[in-house]
């Protein structure tokens, strides 16, 4: 199975990338840098697989078979150990100029294995203005073997000067049927569950996979979708907001604690701490305490981001719910992402107006923007649940 086979419903983008990888191989064979595009921008909605597409392309650039999926090169890219591929995943809400400058220096080095040096920058839209300016300089005059793969939700999320220098690859939301097919054939998910998960995840393959395979994830979705029908009074609104934020916190802790532990152990090993040291800095060689502190800062910022991402996913489920209420009110013949909540949908549809539901969707989108702008989750979510209740 080739590296591009995982990109569900992205035929057009895959065709572009395959051709580009073949052209890149010719460029290498010819010994000239001509014909290679050094900056790429992968865009597409959440869950469309921007990062996956960029990673597959990186594998195709390193692999002599254009991304065969089973050679050493492909394997190293997929597990993240290829020496010429650097993946940048901003842990905080933004990515600063200092980190970017260091990244640019590393990117400028010659490829270890002789082909390309590739930087895969996930969520490049989180680069600050200063960072973006530094990045712009780097992609304006790229070393002949360096390739930048930037990922962002849409071209508009990047500085116009950056995106005009990138070749844009547009990913789309894959159809529900394609996602269900992947779950059923590759993950052995029973057809009914696959159809439910694909519909509920609205084309987001990772999320569909989680919903299909993880009962806890399904439970959390249930809890979120039970909110609209429960907002009977002010007290209920406040309680619902508190529950939503708390659940997100718990999930974020579950996700990040495993990562944190592994990183801390690794760092302590690097700085030569014996297995007996228990105090924070005990037994660390010089520089270790500072590095540990820096790591803890990064971990804290990642926890914050994960919590926000979890809340954001919950908010998107709520948007889907009210969209479905509107569809019910208008008798639209469309697939409903929250079909499994049919009784709630109909009850809310009967007791509300379309205008009210449009306003509710706006309130949820406003909450998303406020969270992105760093408003306290508790405050933002509470304001939202209160406006979901008002008629």
Q: What are the distances in angstroms from CA 137 to CA 94, 111, 205?
A: 19, 20, 35
Closest separation in Å from C-beta 244 to Zn ion: 44
> By C-beta, is 63 or 310 nearer to Zn ion?
63
Closest separation in Å from C-beta 370 to Zn ion: 45
Neighbouring-strand partners of residue 41 = 150, 168
Give the residue closest to Zn ion by C-beta.
63
String of contacts with Zn ion for each residue 350-389, x by CB under 5 A: ----------------------------------------
Closest separation in Å from C-beta 57 to Zn ion: 13
> By C-beta, is 61 or 74 nearer to Zn ion?
74
- Give the distance from CA 257 to its chain's centroid: 19
Number of residues that bind Zn ion (CB under 5 A): 5
Strand 39-43: give its sheet, edge to edge. 85-88, 117-121, 146-152, 39-43, 167-170
Neighbouring-strand partners of residue 152 = 43
> By C-beta, is 77 or 158 nearer to Zn ion?
77
Quickly tell me which residue has 């590739």 as its tokens. Answer: 118
> By C-beta, is 68 or 383 nearer to Zn ion?
68
> By C-beta, is 68 or 365 nearer to Zn ion?
68
Closest separation in Å from C-beta 112 to Zn ion: 17
> By C-beta, is 74 or 349 nearer to Zn ion?
74
String of contacts with Zn ion for each residue 7-46, x by CB under 5 A: ----------------------------------------
Q: How far apart are the first and last CA of the chain?
A: 53
Q: What are the distances in angstroms from CA 371 to CA 309, 315, 348?
A: 9, 11, 26
d(CA 221, CA 380): 20
- In the chain, what is the greatest distance between 2 CA atoms, to the nearest angstrom? 71
Closest separation in Å from C-beta 39 to Zn ion: 24
Q: How many residues does the chain have?
A: 391
Helix H or strand E segment including 149 = strand 146-152
String of contacts with Zn ion for each residue 55-84, x by CB under 5 A: --------x-x--x--x--x----------
DSSP class of residue 155? G
Residues that bind Zn ion (CB under 5 A): 63, 65, 68, 71, 74
């Amino acid at each position: 199975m080739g590296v591009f086979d995982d990109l569900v419903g992205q035929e057009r983008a895959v065709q572009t990338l395959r051709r580009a990888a073949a052209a890149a191989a010719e460029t290498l064979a010819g010994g000239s840098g001509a014909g290679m595009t050094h900056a790429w921008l992968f865009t597409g909605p959440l869950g469309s697989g921007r990062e996956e597409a960029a990673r597959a392309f990186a594998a195709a650039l390193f692999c002599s078979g254009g991304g065969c999926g089973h050679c050493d090169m492909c394997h190293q890219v997929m597990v993240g150990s290829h020496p010429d591929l650097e993946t940048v995943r901003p842990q905080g809400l933004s990515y600063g100029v200092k980190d970017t400058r260091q990244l640019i220096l590393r990117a400028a080095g010659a490829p270890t294995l002789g082909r390309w040096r590739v930087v895969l920058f996930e969520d490049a839209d989180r680069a600050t203005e200063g960072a973006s300016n530094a990045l712009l300089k780097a992609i304006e005059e790229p070393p002949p073997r360096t390739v930048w793969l930037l990922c962002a939700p849409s071209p508009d999320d990047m500085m116009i000067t950056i995106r005009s220098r990138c070749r844009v690859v547009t990913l789309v939301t894959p159809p529900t049927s394609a996602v269900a097919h992947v779950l059923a054939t590759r993950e052995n998910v029973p057809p009914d569950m696959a159809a439910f998960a694909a519909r509920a995840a609205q084309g987001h393959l990772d999320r569909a996979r989680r919903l299909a395979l993880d009962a806890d994830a399904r439970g959390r979705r249930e809890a979120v979708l039970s909110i609209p029908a429960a907002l009977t009074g002010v007290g209920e609104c406040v309680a619902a907001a508190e529950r939503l934020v708390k659940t997100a916190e718990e999930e974020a802790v579950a996700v990040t604690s495993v990562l944190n532990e592994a990183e801390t152990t690794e760092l302590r090993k690097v700085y030569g701490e014996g297995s007996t040291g228990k105090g924070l800095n005990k037994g660390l060689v010089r520089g270790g305490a500072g590095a540990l502190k820096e790591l803890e800062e990064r971990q804290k910022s990642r926890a914050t981001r994960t919590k926000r991402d979890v809340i954001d996913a919950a908010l998107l489920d709520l948007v889907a719910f009210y969209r479905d209420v509107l569809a019910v009110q208008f008798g639209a013949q469309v697939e409903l992402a929250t079909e499994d909540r049919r009784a709630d949908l109909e009850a809310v549809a009967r007791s509300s107006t379309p205008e009210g539901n449009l306003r509710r969707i706006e309130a949820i989108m406003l909450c998303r923007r406020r969270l992105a702008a760093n408003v306290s989750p508790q405050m933002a979510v509470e304001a939202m649940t209160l406006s979901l209740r008002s008629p």
